[in-house]
Amino acid sequence: MIPPLPLGTDGPQLPQLGLGCMGMSEFYGKTDDAQSLAVLDRAYALGVRMFDTADVYGNGHNEELLARFLRQGRAEAFVATKFGIRKQPGEYARTIDNSPDYIRQACDASLTRLGIDRIDLYYVHRAEAGRAIEETMGVLADLVTAGKIARIGLSEVSADTLRRAHAVHPVAAVQSEYSLTTRDREADVLPTCRELGVAFVAYSPLGRGLLSGAIDRETLAEDDFRRQAPRFGEDALAANRARLATLSAIADRRETTPAQVALAWVLAKGAFAIPGTKRLAYLEQNIAAASLTLSADEIDRLDNAYAPGTFVGERYTAEGMKGVNA
């Protein structure tokens, strides 16, 4: 059973482990809708309730795929989607847009693609530089009043932006990349979330597969975006894989996998986690991690072995970093 956490101070109790759906539409090589729907069905059967998507994933395809799953009577599914990143199909280059008219248009378009009347959690995917977060929150607050969204979330924002946003309207959740490979959020954003009663949702909690110890550049599809990510460059990847000894040792002792230990560590930090996968075997391994309780000593060992800055290479290219920590 996946343990529950509250989504914000007055939000619902949700299973701590959700499902990131992005890779079912793009960024990680070939996709297969039938296979992805099978994963969505199995995740729901195993207790997953938070399904995370965005309008930009496959330029609407991911939301439409999720709609096909939701039509099968998934009344307890909690849908989180996002707006704010605009890009052309098949391209990685993007612009950040938080303009009021675009927010309203994007919300209506997501509702239509998802086939629902209200979005459970609507994230600002990236905050637009030069635009006051207060303006953005005002528009989103109007959408709450109109009944189109239930809760507001922010993604990859600074602690200061979170505080300013929360002063306008309660923020239910902040989503950021967080794993043993990426711990910068611990310095300010995580403490601010705890102070304000805002849930923290960790995406890429397995370091985009790096923490499995099984990533090899030669096996990545030609259109897998990790081929361009600095952390997965040939030299960087070799250096990063060489750092996984402590993780592997704990996994061996617990007779589990490095990925499961890494995911259990994120859950032990009190965060929601939304690992993404389009394969049933990986889904079931990830859900099994929710039953793995690490000891205080194991958590300390992992904290010390993978202090912030341990891993080599930025997590995104400069293009991908647009709007991060805004």
Q: What is the C-alpha separation between 255 and 83, in angstroms, rounded?
A: 41
Q: Which two three-digit tokens encode residue 218?
A: 């030669």
Nearest to 4 by CA among 47, 43, 40, 41: 47
Q: DSSP string spanning 241-297? A: HTT-HHHHHHHHHHTS-HHHHHHHHHHHTT-EE--B-S-HHHHHHHHHGGG----HH
Residue 223 has φ and ψ, to the nearest 5°, of -100, 15
The token pair that represents 107 in the structure block = 């919300």
Please indicate whether residue 122 is annotated as part of the active site: no
Give me the DSSP letters along 49-96. Answer: -EEE--TTTTTTHHHHHHHHHHTTT-TT-EEEEEE-EE--TT----EE
Distance from C-alpha of 36 to C-alpha of 104, rounded to nearest angstrom: 29
- CA dist., res. 25 & res. 113, Å (int): 14
DSSP-based three-state secondary structure for 146: coil
Q: Is 6 strand, coil or helix?
A: strand
Burial (CB count within 10 angstroms: exposed 0-12, middle 13-18, buried 19+), residue 39: buried
Q: Which residue in 57, 178, 203, 306 is the catalytic one?
A: 57
Report the Cα–Cα distance between both ends of the chain, in Å, rounded: 36
DSSP bridge pairs for 22: none
Q: Which residues are catalytic?
A: 57
